[in-house]
């Protein structure tokens, strides 16, 4: 069955960087476009970034453009989200999601939490 | 770009039918997709392409769209359907994906 397992979330300081990972199994990762979606505590879902199966195409939300970079390593079945200049507004559970043709999210991981120290 | 408006909450008695709406100024022919998120869990897709159900989703879940409003309908509601529900649209012109604010479904 499809499995998406995120990792890398932790407590961070404002202004620092962090890389999230998502390891995929149960489907042909190398042929699947992928996304990152986040959810701030008690809030709704927000799409963050998209990457095509071959990395030739990517896009990201206006709120993270220039700070977040999505990438993938098809040889490792792994999706990444490199986050820099982090701010408290980036506090959220970050989910990786497999794209379904037609513009939706077919499968989701369980998420990894990024939070800030007070 | 899309702004998707959902009612914050909907309440329904067990066995009855729940309707959750998702409105915008113009869907522009785009499909609408729906997700269920139970407390403490990741979202799960329940409807894609406006009215199709992923395998494993009960037939009690259905989707439709009319004009500028899409609707998720849950028939014969059960206690286990209590969750947050989100609609979503893809803007293929700018390759951005948009979610509604979510609707909390309460089973009375």
3-state SS, one letter per residue, for chain B: CCCCECCCEEEECCCCCEEEEEECCCCCCCCCEEEEECCCCCCEEEEECCCECCCCCCCCEEEEEECCEEEEEECCCCHHHCEEEEEEEEECCCCEEEECCCEEEEEC
Checking if the pLDDT of A9 tops 80, the result is yes
Query: What confidence score (pLDDT) does residue A14 get?
Result: 93
Three-state DSSP at A108 gives strand
Query: What confidence score (pLDDT) does residue A85 get?
Result: 97
Q: What is the mean pLDDT of residues B4-9?
A: 98
Three-state DSSP at A116 gives strand
Query: What confidence score (pLDDT) does residue A117 get?
Result: 86
- Taking a C-beta distance cutoff of 8 angstroms, is the pair A5, A109 a contact? yes
Q: Using the beta-carbon criterion (under 8 Å), do B95 and A50 form an inter-chain contact?
A: yes
Strand partners, A71: A80
Chain B environment of A110 (Cβ under 8 Å): 41-42
Q: How many C-beta atoms surround the C-beta of residue A44 within 10 A?
A: 15
Query: What confidence score (pLDDT) does residue B49 get?
Result: 97
Q: Using the beta-carbon criterion (under 8 Å), do B102 and A100 form an inter-chain contact?
A: no
Three-state DSSP at A89 gives helix
Tell me which residues of chain B have a C-beta less than 8 Å from any C-beta of chain A: 30-31, 33, 35, 37, 41-45, 48-49, 54, 84, 86, 88-90, 92, 94-102
Query: What confidence score (pLDDT) does residue B105 get?
Result: 98
Q: How far is A103 from chain B (nearest CA, A)?
A: 5
Q: What is the pLDDT of residues B22-76, one digit of tens each?
A: 999 999 889 999 999 999 999 999 999 999 999 999 999 999 999 999 999 999 9
Q: Where residue B6 falls among pLDDT bands split at 50, 70, 90?
A: very high
């Amino acid at each position: 069955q499809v499995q998406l397992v995120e990792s890398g979330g932790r407590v961070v300081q404002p202004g620092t960087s962090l890389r999230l990972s998502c390891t995929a199994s149960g489907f042909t990762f190398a042929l699947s476009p992928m996304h990152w979606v986040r959810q701030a505590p008690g809030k709704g879902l927000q799409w963050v970034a998209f990457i095509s199966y071959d990395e030739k195409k990517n896009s990201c939300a206006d709120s993270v453009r220039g700070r977040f970079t999505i990438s993938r390593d098809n040889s490792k079945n792994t999706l990444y989200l490199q986050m820099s200049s982090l701010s408290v507004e980036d506090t959220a559970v970050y989910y990786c999601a497999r794209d379904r043709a037609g513009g939706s999210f077919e499968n989701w991981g369980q998420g990894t939490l990024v939070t800030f120290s007070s | 770009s899309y702004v998707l408006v959902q009612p914050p909450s909907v309440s329904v008695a067990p066995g009855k039918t729940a309707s959750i709406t998702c409105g915008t100024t113009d869907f522009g022919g785009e499909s609408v997709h729906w997700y269920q998120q139970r407390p403490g869990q990741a979202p799960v897709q329940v409807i894609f392409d406006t009215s199709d159900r992923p395998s494993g989703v009960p037939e009690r879940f259905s989707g439709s769209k009319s004009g500028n409003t899409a609707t998720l309908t849950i028939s014969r509601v059960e206690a286990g359907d209590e969750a947050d529900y989100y609609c979503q649209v893809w803007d293929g012109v700018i390759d951005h994906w948009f979610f509604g604010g979510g609707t909390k479904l309460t089973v009375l």
